[in-house]
Amino acid sequence: MATVLNAKGVPLPYSGSSTKWYSATNSGPALYGSIYNDSLHGDSNVSVTMYGGKGDDIYYLYSTKNKAVELANEGVDTISTWMSYRLPAHFENLTVTNDKHYAFGNELNNIIAGGSGQQTIDGLKGDDVLRGGSGADIFVVAPGNGSDLILDFSVEDTVRIGSYGFTSFEQVHANMAGLLAFAGGRLLATGTGHHRDDRSGSK
Ligand SMILES: [Ca+2]
Ligand SMILES: [Ca+2]
Ligand SMILES: [Ca+2]
C-alpha cells in the first residue's frame, strides 16, 4: 500500500488501485460500488449519490449534483474534483484541480493535493499531508488543528497561520522557526502555536 509519512511519522495511505469502474451517466439517483476498490465517476448532468462501500474508492465529482457517501471503516477513500470541496466524514484524501478553488479536509489525517494554479488548502483537524502542486498556493494552519506537513512549499506559496495572518516564504524562513520547520521544500507546521509537541523546536 502506497503511503506518505505525516509530521508525526505516521504513514498515511493513498487509495489502492481500482479494480472496478462505475459511471453515473444514465444511472439512477443512487450508484453503488462493489466490495472491492472502485472508481466512481459522476456526471455533471446527473443528480446522483454514489456509495463506494467497502474497499478503497476513488470518486470523481463533476458538479454539485454529484455526491459521495462513505461509512466508517470502509477503506481509504479519495475524492477528486475540480470544484472547491470540503471532505465529508469517513473520506481520507482529496484532490482539487481548478485554479482559485479551495480544498478542505476533515477531522481525519488527510492527504490533500492541489492541481495547477492556486488552491487554498486546509487540512483542518488531524495531522495532514498537503501538496499544492504548481501555482501560488495558500496553506492554512491553525492552533488545535494538528501538525501538518506541506510537501512542496515554495517561494510562490503562502501559509496562513491562525491569527498571524499571511506569511511569505521569506517571513517563514526569518521568523517562524519555532512554529514552522523548513527543509528541502518540505514545511512542517508543528504545534501551530498553542499546543507545541516535542518536535516543535526542531529546525
Ligand atoms: Ca470505501
Ligand atoms: Ca484533517
Ligand atoms: Ca496548486
20-79: pLDDT as tens digits: 999 999 999 999 999 999 999 999 999 999 999 999 999 999 999 999 999 999 999 999
The number of residues in the chain equals 203
Spell out the residues 6+ positions from residue 66 whose beta carbon is closer than 8 angstroms to its own: 24, 42, 43, 44, 46, 48, 50, 59
Each residue of 128-186: pLDDT tens digit? 999 999 999 999 987 778 889 999 988 899 988 765 566 677 776 666 655 677 766 78
pLDDT score recorded for residue 145: 85
User: What is the whole-number distance in angstroms between the Cα of residue 156 and the centre of ligand 2?
Assistant: 24
Ligand 3 centroid to Cα of residue 137, in Å, is 5
Q: How far is the CA of 20 from the centre of ligand 2 (A)?
A: 28
pLDDT number for residue 199: 40
Nearest ligand to the CA atom of 123: 2
Could you tell me if 18 and 33 are in contact, meaning their C-beta atoms sit under 8 angstroms apart?
no
Ligand 1 center to residue 76 CA distance, Å? 6
Q: Could you tell me the distance, in angstroms and rounded to a whole number, from the CA of residue 159 to the centre of ligand 3?
A: 13
d(Cα 8, Cα 191) in Å, to the nearest integer?
11
Q: What is the pTM of this model?
A: 0.87
The yes-or-no verdict on residue 197 having pLDDT over 50 is no
pLDDT (0 to 100) of residue 189: 78
Q: Tell me the CA–centroid distance for residue 161 and ligand 1, in Å.
A: 33
User: Which is more confident, 43 or 199?
Assistant: 43
* DSSP helix/strand/coil, 192: helix
CA 86 to mean position of chain CA atoms: 9
Q: Ligand 2 centre from 65 Cα, in Å?
A: 24
Please tell me the number of the ligand nearest to residue 56's CA. 1
pLDDT of residue 53: 98
